[in-house]
Amino acid sequence: MPRPSINVTLDFASIEERIAKGERITVRHLAADLNVSPQIVRRAFIEHYASRVVFTRGRTGGILVKTASPVTTEATETTTAA
């Protein structure tokens, strides 16, 4: 008999806003707020953000979401003095 599926609803917009303000967000704290295991929250972040999410460990650990950096197409010209 397979395990029942657990659906977690995360408000990613508010989480991104809290991260942008500099607030420290951890998987463990989010999981405790939702009464689920940290693995479920981590999987939800990976499914939503794919390669843009970074989980840091340790005392100052937390969740980082990389923003897409704008592509600049500036051409630089160099001249050499003869």
* Residue 47 phi, psi (nearest 5): -65, -35
- For position 68, what pLDDT does the model report? 58
pLDDT in single tens digits along all 82 residues of the chain: 788 877 778 888 888 888 888 888 888 888 898 898 888 888 888 888 887 787 778 777 777 777 655 545 555 555 666 5
1 in a structural domain: no
Residue-range definition of the domain harbouring residue 47: 12-65
Q: Which of 11, 1, 7, 3 is nearest to 40 (CA)?
A: 7
What would the two tokens of residue 71 be? 């592509």
Q: Does a structural domain hold residue 56?
A: yes
Residue 81 in any domain: the answer is no
Strand extents, DSSP E, the chain: 53-56, 62-65
Q: Judge whether 26 and 32 are in contact, CB under 8 Å.
A: no
This model's pTM is above 0.95: no
Q: Is residue 39 part of a domain?
A: yes
